[in-house]
A and B are shown apart, each in its own frame.
Chain A
């Protein structure tokens, strides 16, 4: 019997068997697990989704433990749940056709693990860190797609307000590289020597625009 004709419970059982074969490096048939994913993701079958969570929870846990940011101060279960939530939100019926086989789906599931961990890394240390190896012991904040979207929108609005205060390309460059890229004046000068006479020139421009920005009521309202 083909997988399309099987009930979810039987599909889940066959998927489990084939997954065990995979773990033993034996030949296996991916069609049962793939059918389970299709019903869960493309057809939004709740029973199939529950089966996917049960079947792949261990694998996702392994993905979490494999990640450099796994030492973030949340339980592994928290990241497993967030990863599945991310998969549910990111993959719908309209996108399922992009995944031709089970390995491509599992790779995307692994990407979901990475994305929820990286979202947290970015949020915790906005502005000062470039490495996953050193993370602060600050209170974790729960971040989801909605939080990220709100932050991006707020950033766009603030940036638009900042741009309205800029007088020329040199100021725009200093503002962008200082606040959006968190670069120091010496690095700004190194990247754009044609715009500035010296590092001191960058400091002068930056100090002027900081003084101007903190007097702007709209910008003060944003950063208050």
Chain B
């Protein structure tokens, strides 16, 4: 098809066709007219060549943007990068991306608690069970209101220490040749928050002080098990 020259669109409209912004009438004409199609091809080739070489040529490279995010740049380069990212949407977006990426948790840390045997302790009758053994291991004053829990082959004894908010505990294994607790950790949890933590010594002792009144979950993380005492009330 060779439309007459009087029906050719404005050259600016041919450029709009190249940019995908032309009206349907212009699109139909250009696609059916050798003259206008050739003009469009020439404009597109020039534009594509320029964009291929010039696109973001003055943008800081990704490493520099990342160093800016980590505050590793010198003052002059930092200022230049800051000024650039204020005006360049692409760099502002990449800066946001690199900050999020660097802040993301490393995926390789093992979730230790997920591998442990979870044991929910059962409250035995007060002062029953292997109490004498538990009492002998307690530090500080013994308390006649000690509560004793059983979880599998483990016994947990808890009692009030000196003053309010003071909790003393011990965990022992009923199997005499097993030392379950050395290097373990005791935690008092309220909701999803750890309120207090205490190391468990080589005799199985642990202790919490200044615990606010409330009901807590006690977690005793051992080498191969996680013992849980639910509904522990502290007054």
Q: A-side interface residues toward B, CB under 8 Å?
A: 22-25, 58-59, 62-63, 65-68, 86, 90, 98, 107-108, 110-112, 114-115, 118-119, 122, 126-127, 130, 132, 148, 151-152, 154-156, 158-159, 162, 178-182, 184-186, 200, 203-204, 206-207, 210, 213-214, 219, 222-224
Contacts and interface: CB of A to CB of B under 8 A. Distances in A.
Contacts, number: 145
A111 B56 contact: no
A159 B51 CA distance: 11
B54 interface: yes
B101 A67 contact: yes
A210 B47 contact: yes
A24 B62 contact: no
Interface of B: 11-16, 19, 21, 42-43, 45-47, 49-58, 61-63, 66-67, 70, 72, 88-90, 93-94, 97-98, 101-102, 104, 106-110, 112
Contact of A213 (B46, B66, B112): B46
A36 to B, nearest CB: 18
A115 B15 contact: no
B199 to A, nearest CB: 11
Contact of B50 (A98, A112, A156, A223): A223
Contact of A23 (B53, B67, B110): B110
Contact of B63 (A115, A222, A224): A115
B62 A119 contact: yes
B62 A22 contact: no
A65 to B, nearest CB: 7
Contact of A154 (B11, B16, B53, B102): B53
A22 B66 CA distance: 25
Given A67-B101, A114-B66, A119-B61, 16 more contacts: A24-B112, A110-B101, A114-B102, A118-B98, A127-B55, A130-B93, A148-B61, A155-B58, A156-B57, A158-B53, A162-B50, A181-B88, A185-B21, A223-B49, A223-B52, A224-B49
28 contacts: A23-B110, A59-B108, A62-B108, A66-B106, A98-B72, A111-B67, A114-B102, A115-B61, A118-B98, A119-B61, A126-B55, A127-B51, A130-B89, A151-B57, A152-B57, A154-B53, A156-B58, A159-B54, A179-B54, A181-B55, A184-B21, A185-B16, A185-B21, A203-B13, A207-B14, A207-B43, A210-B15, A222-B49
B101 A122 contact: no
B104 A66 contact: yes
Interface of B is mostly: helix
Given A62-B107, A130-B90, A154-B53, A111 B70 contact: yes
B54 A111 contact: no
Contacts of B70: 107-108, 111
B68 to A, nearest CB: 11
Given A66-B107, A114-B66, A115-B61, A182 B55 contact: yes
